[in-house]
Amino acid sequence: MWKMLPKATKSAVVSLIIIFLLATSGATPGRQISSSPVKITIDPGHGGYDPGAIVSGVTEKSVNLKIAMALRELGQQHPTLDFVFTRTTDDYIPLLDRLEYAEQHGSVGYLSIQANSFWDSGVSGVETILDKTRKQGGSSWNMAQSIQDSIVSRTGARDRGLRYQRLYTRYTTIPSAMVEVGFLTSPSERGKLLSSSYRESIAKGIIQGLLRHFSS
């Protein structure tokens, strides 16, 4: 019966079937059917008995956590992103446990938040670090570049670019990076990192970078 129908009739029937399926699914022609939110694990570096860098009484672990909490609040405005956090309190989590946590939650991205330090107080800026196993142009590299660009654009901080070193993130296949949001050893940058509005700008930059990367 179907083989005997004219070609134009077959096309009309197929079109009607497509329209019916779109209507019953709640979608409309030309609009992509919504998918699940992108799950990202945010890791506020250090914590608990590991304070990270300590400069003039400011601990790196507290700065990292405050930026993560700003991300949690701002993330509620972006339903396409689903943030999970390795810690939300002042606790130390073993590094490999952080990666395991991300994998158990089905995360498609992993970002560790850190603050930098250096012997020269004149050094400042934002840099994003990748493990040496992550190839340039790969998922980790592209995500890191997008986050780096967005934070620099939001904050006006010096752009120190992407860097490579040996990181614990080599033990996961999840696209991952570590963002160093500024130098606590720079008096001016330390002052900014103590400002809630500046930390919010960093958080907005991270969100903007993730949205740009995962929507491309």
In tens, the pLDDT along 38-65 reads 999 999 999 999 999 999 999 999 999 9
The residue-averaged pLDDT of 18-47 equals 61
Is the Cβ–Cβ distance between 122 and 79 less than 8 Å? Answer: no
Q: How does pLDDT run across 82-137, given as a tens digit for each residue? A: 999 999 999 999 999 999 999 999 999 999 999 999 999 999 999 999 999 999 99
Strand 54-55, strand 38-44: pairing = unpaired
Tell me the C-alpha distance between 46 and 33, whole Å: 40
The domain locations on the chain are: 7-34, 38-215
Q: What string of DSSP letters covers 152-193?
A: HHHH---EEEEEEE--GGGG--S-EEEEEEEETTSHHHHHHH
Give the pTM: 0.83
Statement: residue 30 has pLDDT above 80: no
User: Which of 70, 39, 65, 40 minimizes the C-alpha distance to 50?
Assistant: 65
The residue-averaged pLDDT of 167-178 equals 98
Distances in whole angstroms, Cα of residue 87 to Cα of each of 39, 84, 161, 193:
16, 9, 27, 20
In 29-151, DSSP assigns E strands to: 38-44, 54-55, 58-59, 81-85, 109-116, 126-131
Statement: residue 216 has pLDDT above 90: no
Superfamily of domain 38-215, CATH level 4: Zn-dependent exopeptidases (3.40.630.40)
The residue-averaged pLDDT of 162-179 equals 98
> Identity (one letter) of the amino acid at 81?
L
